[in-house]
Amino acid sequence: MRHHIFFQILAVCLLCGLYLVSPATGAGASGAVSASASSESAMKNTSPMPPLSEREADVILRKGTEAPYSGRYTDNKAAGTYVCRQCGAALYSSKDKFESGCGWPSFDTELPGAVRRLPDADGRRVEIVCAACNGHLGHVFEGEGFTDKNTRHCVNSLSMAFYPAGSPEEAQALAQRKQGASAGTANVAGGCFWGVEDAFRRMPGVTDVVSGYTGGHVPNPSYEDVCRGDTGHAEAVRVTFDPAVVSYEQILRRFFEIHDPTQLDRQGPDVGDQYRSAVFFLDAGQEAVASKLVNRLRELGYDVVTRLEQAGPFYAAEAYHQRFAERTGRGRCHMSVPRFDTPAKGGR
């Protein structure tokens, strides 16, 4: 029975024409089975996670697939926790890993809330992504009978890092997961991120704000890259908030009042796609809230051009951009306008 299933899986992989990332060559290649434990430990000790290699970006950002049996974690039997290679969020426990014979690491469940399921572009399979950053992990299959849970998460090794049980890295990842479980996140873009960050830092219930780049196709962009206007990224902020104090809807209401959502690809003197107005929603619930507020503003007569985009990888901006207005007194240009209480000229 298991042999029969294995050949079925292999046939599906061949028929679907999966985009395979060729195995790494050379001792220094990321994801190579021969990578030393010491170098891997040094990499994981960096926070935030180190920049993605080109092969990792092919899988995580461009949804490629590593060749079967080429990943470092396919046969890993050590106890510990698997985390997202891109953002460091805890994804899977080694307790849920099993041998499926498919050539990729297999798990029969994820840590609660760590993974999101999406329809695959091929129209047949179900893609799985990191719930924290939307990085591509692989695919999920059901009904194969490998374990009692009857589910197989087929995950690329290149999409993960592994923290041994009891290690400081594992403890930190699990602690961050516990902390994050009670926090909310909102990703928005409204022009120069200095002012947007500063405005949100002053909002009760907001616990952290990070300026960064998102919405584009270039991994690990620099400020200079984004300023060129050809990366697709917007200057954005990631807002972390306490849902017991402030709701996601209140966060977005604040967002629509501290920038002009009627300006297309600009805010004041800052012109370009990187200065667009956008809400990067993490799930259907956030999308619904954003859509409701956009429709309400349009009812009030505002010609809103804010884009509602599925959240993708968020890249923190350089250190000198963080808390810029607070440190320098400059960049506080996002003044609050009570748009939800004041109809636009000609509005109802």
Catalytic site includes residue 154: yes
- Active-site residue, selected from the candidate residues 84, 130, 133, 154: 154
Q: Shortest CA distance to 180 belongs to which of 268, 127, 112? A: 112
Is 308 strand, coil or helix? Answer: strand
Is the overall model pTM greater than 0.75, yes or no?
A: no
Q: Could you tell me where the beta strands, DSSP code E, fall in the chain?
A: 20-21, 65-66, 80-84, 90-93, 97-98, 106-107, 115-119, 126-130, 136-142, 151-155, 160-164, 184-190, 206-214, 234-241, 266-267, 270-271, 277-281, 307-310, 314-316
Unique residue bearing structure tokens 């060729």: 22
- Active-site residue, selected from the candidate residues 130, 133, 192, 333: 192
Catalytic site includes residue 13: no
Show the domains of the chain with their CATH numbers: 37-174 (2.170.150.20), 182-328 (3.30.1060.10)
Could you say which residues of the chain have pLDDT below 50? Answer: 1-47, 348
Alpha-carbon span 203 to 247, nearest angstrom: 12
pLDDT at residue 29 in the model:
30
Tens-place pLDDT, residues 48-61: 689 999 999 999 99
pLDDT at residue 118 in the model:
84
pLDDT at residue 346 in the model:
62
pLDDT at residue 236 in the model:
96
**Sheet with 307-310, side-by-side order of all strands:** 307-310, 277-281, 184-190, 234-241, 206-214, 314-316
Tens-place pLDDT, residues 334-345: 778 899 988 987
Cα distance between the two ends of the chain: 67
